[in-house]
Each structure stands twice: as C-alpha cells, then as structure tokens.
C-alpha cells in the first residue's frame, strides 16, 4: 500500500468553495488570499477550503494562474486551516495531470477532479479510466471525484463509478457530490469505506444529504453562511431536527429570492464581497458582474434572513 501524506485524515464538516480574488482589471489578486483565509477561520468558523473549483471559476483560468492560486492558498492556509483541497480538473488529461503533480509538490491535502466535458466519458468505465490516469501521477495525494453533472453534462451514476474503484485508484478517498439525485447519493453512502468521505455540494438541500449519511458539505454559500451552517451541523448531530430545518429553510429563502433575480456566480461573488468586505473583484467573462440593484436587494435579503 502507498504511504499517504500525514494529513490523510477523513474530510468532514463544512468546506468553503472559494471565490477567486481578481483585480478590477481582471487579473488574479493573490494579496487578498491571506485576508480571505482569516475571514473564513475567524469570522465564519470554516477550516476547510476547496480551491479552484466551480465557485473559483477554475475552467475560466489558465493553468499558470491556477498554479499560482493553489500555491498561495496552501501557503496562507498552513497552520490555520485543517484541509485544502485543490480542484485540478481541466478539459485535457495533460493539463489535469500537470495540476495534480503541482498540487502534490505544494503539499495540498487532497485533489478533486471533474469529468472532462467537451469530449465526455460515456460510462463509468471510461470515467474511471480517466480518473485513474490523473491519480497515477500523484499517487500519494488523497483523491476525490467531483460530480457536478449540471455543469459537465456527464451523468454517469456515481454508484457505478464507485464499484471497485479502490482496485484502480488506491488514493481514492471519496466524492464531492453536487447533484440533486439523492437516490444515487444514498447508494453511494451505502458503498462508502471507512476512510472515504461523501461530501455534499448542493447547499440548499444539505439537510436531506445529512440524513442519508453525508460526511461533510462543500459549497459556495459556506463562505458567508458558515457560522449558521456549523450550527445546523451541530443541531443535526444532536437530533434537533426543528432547529436544523430552520437554518436550512433560511438558506432556501435567500437562494429562492436570489434565483428569481438571476442568481449566478457574478451575483454570488458580489454577495460574498458585500458580506465579508473582502476585495474579490469582478467575475471573469463570460460571467457578468452583478448589477448594482440586484446586489443591493440580495444583500438586504441576506441580512433580513440571517438577522445580522
């Protein structure tokens, strides 16, 4: 068996999927990463991050930018956070392997990989072969499959992917599951091994996934509702379902309101800027900057729902 990194502990709890700080001119702005880490740990009580993911607009960044960002996140999180997952998925296997090797060099705690979505794997076998080719270049780094079919269009059932995956990928440690298919999720939960983590990624229905056995939650909203969702996890642990539901319903109310105004990554990033005071800049095209009237309404709704 491969010798794993010392940080190979089970991933649990809340994981903030970080936004990528950009300058007003649209260049990556690594000077904001230190304050961002401080904000999450000190103000939100969130000690795990998922960087260069969907929320981080990784597929709109160059490989060179992603390396600089991943390195800075790892550097600034060291000693302050429990776990840094670097998402390394790209359209080409070569770029994905390059980023996986880099994540190992910079001592990320784990990597996650989406399915390529232009030329798509057609079934579990093809997806497994691709993931194996990525994992093989960083065999000591805990590996997560990142399932997000609404973006990739790759609808392979994760329960089929998991079938015997440990025989192909010894570093396999679990799934970041961003789909509303709770039947597939439940079947995955029943297939979990003791050192694997099943991390749910649809924040507005996390409570349902906890009931089915989620070990943790990774998402964009934990950047600004981390405090509240730590309380929801604690309430769930104690069996206080009414309290847990109240918090879940608050996020549903906020997102329902925001979705009617066109909630997208531009709106989401602006809400994080308004709540945290961090300078994260605009999103990158094709994602558009949030219009000021939408930003003001969503911010007001956030404060009225969470009363702070």
Give the residue numbers annotated as catalytic, written as ranges.
Answer: 146, 176
Class of residue 34 by CB neighbours under 10 A (exposed 0-12, middle 13-18, buried 19+) = middle
Q: Are strands 13-17 and 143-147 parallel, antiparallel or unpaired?
A: unpaired
Could you say which of 174, 219, 281, 282 contacts ligand PYR (CB under 6 A)?
A: 219
Does 221 contact ligand MN9 by CB under 6 A? yes
Given 17, 37, 161, 175, the residue binding ligand MN9 (CB under 6 A): 17
Min separation Cβ 5 and ligand PYR, Å: 21
What are the backbone angles phi and psi of residue 174, rounded to the nearest 5°? 145, -165
Contact between 97 and ligand MN9 by CB under 6 A: the answer reads: no
Provide the minimum distance between the beta carbon of 170 and ligand MN9 in the complex, in angstroms, as a whole number.
Answer: 26
Query: CB under 6 A: which stretch of 27-35, 73-81, 115-123, 217-225 binds ligand MN9?
Result: 217-225
Tell me how far apart the alpha carbons of residues 299 and 302 are, in angstroms, rounded to a whole number. Answer: 5
- Give the sign of the dihedral formed by CA 104, CA 107, CA 108, CA 109: positive
User: Which of 112, 113, 31, 33 is closest to 80 using CA atoms?
Assistant: 33
Site residues (CB under 6 A) for ligand PYR, limited to 245-284: none
Residue 17 as a binder of ligand PYR (CB under 6 A): the answer is: yes
Task: Say if CB 21 and CB 36 are below 8 A apart.
Answer: yes
Find the shortest distance in angstroms from Cβ 79 to ligand PYR: 23
Q: Among 133, 153, 155, which residue's Cα sits nearest to residue 143?
A: 133
Residue 217 near ligand PYR by CB under 6 A? no
Binding residues: 55
Give contact residues for ligand MN9 (rule: CB under 6 A).
17, 54-55, 148, 178, 201-204, 219-221, 255
Binding residues for pyruvate: 55
């Amino acid at each position: 068996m491969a010798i794993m990194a010392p940080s190979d502990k089970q991933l649990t709890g809340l994981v903030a999927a970080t936004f990528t700080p950009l300058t007003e001119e649209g260049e990556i702005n690594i000077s904001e990463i230190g304050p961002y880490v401080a904000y999450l740990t000190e103000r939100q009580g969130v000690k795990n991050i998922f960087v260069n993911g969907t929320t981080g607009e990784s597929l709109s960044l160059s490989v060179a930018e992603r390396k600089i960002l991943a390195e800075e996140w790892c550097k600034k999180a060291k000693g302050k956070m429990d776990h840094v997952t670097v998402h390394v998925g790209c359209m080409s296997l070569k770029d994905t392997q390059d980023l996986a090797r880099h994540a190992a060099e910079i001592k990320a705690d784990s990597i996650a990989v989406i399915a390529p979505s232009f030329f798509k794997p057609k079934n579990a076998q093809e997806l497994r072969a691709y993931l194996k080719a990525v994992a093989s270049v960083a065999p000591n780094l805990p590996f997560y499959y990142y399932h997000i079919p609404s973006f990739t269009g790759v609808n392979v059932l994760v329960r089929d992917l998991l079938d015997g995956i440990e025989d192909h990928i010894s570093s396999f440690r679990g799934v970041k599951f961003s789909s509303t298919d709770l039947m597939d999720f439940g079947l995955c939960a029943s297939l979990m091994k003791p050192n694997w983590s099943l991390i749910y990624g649809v924040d507005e229905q996390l409570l349902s996934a906890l009931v089915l056995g989620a070990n943790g939650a990774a998402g964009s909203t934990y950047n600004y509702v981390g405090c509240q969702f730590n309380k929801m996890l604690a309430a769930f642990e104690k069996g206080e379902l009414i309290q847990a539901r109240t918090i879940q319903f608050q996020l549903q109310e906020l997102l329902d309101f925001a979705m009617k105004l066109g909630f997208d990554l531009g709106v989401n990033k602006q809400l994080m800027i308004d709540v945290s005071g961090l300078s994260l800049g605009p999103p990158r095209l094709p994602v558009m900057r949030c219009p000021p009237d939408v930003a003001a309404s969503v911010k007001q709704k956030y404060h009225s729902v969470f009363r702070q």
